[in-house]
Amino acid sequence: MAKPTYQDATLILKMAQWGASPGMDGAKNWLWSDEFIPDYSEFIKKYPRGSEGNGNASKVCSWMETLGTLYKHKLINEELLFDWLAVDLMWERLKGFALGVRDEVGYPGLFENFEAMAKAQKG
């Protein structure tokens, strides 16, 4: 991959600002708390659609899917992205939720870019 540019850094900083915004930052912190339940069937019992917990998991998955879409289309520098975020750890934490929602709504493409980005980082 090409050496990161100032434009690449600017995009990373914009994505970092989004990730640090009040709603997102709280959602990410909650994700790593003891309140988060990795197993989807247990998660959905405690956090049904419309609940704050479900919203938190959805926010983080959507943010990561956006990053994954930029990554897929080579619009974000891989070296900077993977140096900044532990995408694979985020996927491992959210995998149960992401795959559970994917199955529930019957849309196999849901969060696929997040998943592919995590696999790429893991190598």
Q: Does 1 fall in a domain?
A: no
Residue 110 within any structural domain of the chain: yes
Give the domain extent around 37.
6-122
User: Coil, helix or strand for 95?
Assistant: helix
The percentage of the chain sitting over the pLDDT mark of 70, rounded to a whole number, equals 99
- pTM equals 0.95
Residue 78: inside a domain: yes
User: How many structural domains is the chain composed of?
Assistant: 1
**How many other CB atoms are found less than 10 A from the CB of residue 59?**
19
28 occurs within a structural domain: yes
Evaluate whether residue 105 is within a structural domain.
yes
Kindly state the tokens that stand for 97.
């939720």
Note whether residue 114 is domain-resident: yes
Q: For 71-98, write each residue's pLDDT tens digit.
A: 999 999 999 999 999 999 999 999 999 9
What is the tens place of the pLDDT at every residue in 27-44? 999 999 999 999 999 999
**Does 40 map to a domain?**
yes
